[in-house]
Amino acid sequence: MTDAKLSLAEKDFGYPVLSGSVGPDVIDIRKLYGQTGAFTYDPGFTSTASCQSKLTYIDGDEGVLLHRGYPIGELAEQSSFMEVAYLLLNGELPKGDELNKFESTITRHTMVHEQLATFFRGFRRDAHPMAILCGVVGALSAFYHDSTDIHDPTQRTIASHRLIAKMPTIAAMAYKYSVGQPFQYPDNSLSYTGNFLKMTFGVPAEPYEVNPAVEKAMDRIFILHADHEQNASTSTVRLAGSSGANPFACIAAGIACLWGPAHGGANEAALNMLQEIGTPDRIPEFINRAKDKNDPFRLMGFGHRVYKNYDPRATVMQKTVREVFEALNVSDPLFETALRLEELALSDDYFIEKKLFPNVDFYSGVILSAIGFPTSMFTVLFALARTVGWVAQWNEMITDPDQKIGRPRQLYTGPTARPYVSLDER
């Protein structure tokens, strides 16, 4: 193990360099403040590894995304969301009847406490579904006290299954409430994703048949959103969990963070942007705005903190647009606008120099809109899928022997000590 050398105030220090199985090495600076009296400074954590993890690996330069070593493209094409959930939670692909048992367990947790339905009555019908999701998921800890002891592995497992299972039910309820339709109970005869589609689009007045092509596309979209290393919302879940907060509260914190337009809220913002652009002839105007330092406008669905190459999820997403359009025999001029916007942006020096490529959020809205979801539900769907990653990361953090409460420091630039002055002397 080599050391990284640091010279400060005419003293020399050495810090161990740790290597993972793949990816950048890390400099272990846990003793730096104690030895030097100085902090590191890294707003946005662009150069900071917050933990060790075995879940997901991203190579931003190469556009690589692995879940427990399996490439996202192969999982999206050959696996299922429930199998990817099992993989992230357990570390290996299920064998034998392990997947059936896991799916059966999840299925039997999809109902929510009947009292939870009354929570929705307090919201306005036009409440944003993400506002509802934040509130209702946080409230789960008021219902499931028997799975909030984070030091009990059995309770952690039950809470994990409850969160993964109930998120589709709550998401569908948020949609139903917004359109004034009755909530639909889960149907245990359906797949995880098929059940979600039925709870969302089914009505008591007539039977609902799950469209297999839509079910497959939706399941693939869930896979693409399942986990993504230490992104902002996952880091929020870990930080909340580091204080010992119960898992339902931690996931509610992750939902709140994901809502931001710079993060999971970008899928809603990207479709709104495409609708504002409208036709391809207006694309240059928006590209110029995105390049203008004095204009806060950014191309939504473009750029990424880690990917400085094409987001592999966007590749699969674009392919899925065509499959869904064909299956539903629909088209959307906004898809053509999106394709043209990508083409023009990727040929523009500004985007080339800053390595700004489409990310997972650029095409997802076009598909979700074609399936029938309103734009306001897009981030809810992201949160539904990312619950698997958040839960897996939360479990990994809780069982990490190095885990301690997260408590960053700061560079203080405020006033130094000064005496209080009474009002009549100011």
Based on CB atoms, which residue is closest to ligand SDX, 213 or 262? 262
145 is catalytic: no
97 is catalytic: no
Binding flag, residue 129, ligand SDX (CB under 6 A): no
Based on CB atoms, which residue is closest to ligand SDX, 86 or 302? 302
Angle subtended by helix axes 378-398 and 247-258, to nearest 10: 140
Binding flag, residue 312, ligand SDX (CB under 6 A): no
The site for ligand SDX, by CB under 6 A, has a size of: 22
In angstroms, the CA 304 to CA 217 distance is: 24
Binding flag, residue 109, ligand SDX (CB under 6 A): no
Considering only the stretches 135-143, 276-284, 301-309, 396-404, report the one whose residues sit in contact with ligand SDX under the rule CB under 6 A: 301-309
Do the Cβ atoms of 116 and 143 come closer than 8 Å?
A: yes
Binding flag, residue 142, ligand SDX (CB under 6 A): no
> 300 to each of 65, 355, 374, 386, how far by Cα in Å?
21, 15, 18, 20
Binding flag, residue 67, ligand SDX (CB under 6 A): no
CA angle, residues 59, 222, 160, in degrees to nearest 5? 95
Considering only the stretches 93-101, 112-120, 304-312, 391-399, report the one whose residues sit in contact with ligand SDX under the rule CB under 6 A: 304-312
Using the rule CB under 6 A, which residue among 231, 364, 379, 393 binds ligand SDX? 231
**Which element (helix H / strand E) includes 85?**
helix 81-90
In angstroms, the CA 79 to CA 216 distance is: 10
In angstroms, the CA 91 to CA 88 distance is: 6
Binding flag, residue 228, ligand SDX (CB under 6 A): yes
Binding flag, residue 301, ligand SDX (CB under 6 A): yes
Based on CB atoms, which residue is closest to ligand SDX, 198 or 263? 263
In angstroms, the CA 332 to CA 205 distance is: 29
Using the rule CB under 6 A, which residue among 361, 367, 379, 381 binds ligand SDX? 361
DSSP string, 178-230: HHTPPP----TTS-HHHHHHHHHH-BTTB-----HHHHHHHHHHHHHTS--SS
Q: Which residue is nearest to ligand SDX (CB)?
A: 303
How many other β-carbons are positioned within 10 Å of the β-carbon of residue 123? Answer: 17
Binding flag, residue 190, ligand SDX (CB under 6 A): no
Binding flag, residue 340, ligand SDX (CB under 6 A): no
In angstroms, the CA 320 to CA 326 distance is: 10
Using the rule CB under 6 A, which residue among 66, 88, 299, 377 binds ligand SDX? 299
Residue 182 has, within 13 A of its CA and on its CB side, a CA count of 7
Q: Which of 219, 361, 402, 424 is catalytic?
A: 361
Binding flag, residue 210, ligand SDX (CB under 6 A): no
Based on CB atoms, which residue is closest to ligand SDX, 163 or 266? 266
Q: How far is the CB of 236 from ligand SDX (least distance, A)?
A: 11
- Token match 């993504």: residue? 228
Binding flag, residue 262, ligand SDX (CB under 6 A): yes
**Annotated active-site positions, please?**
304, 361
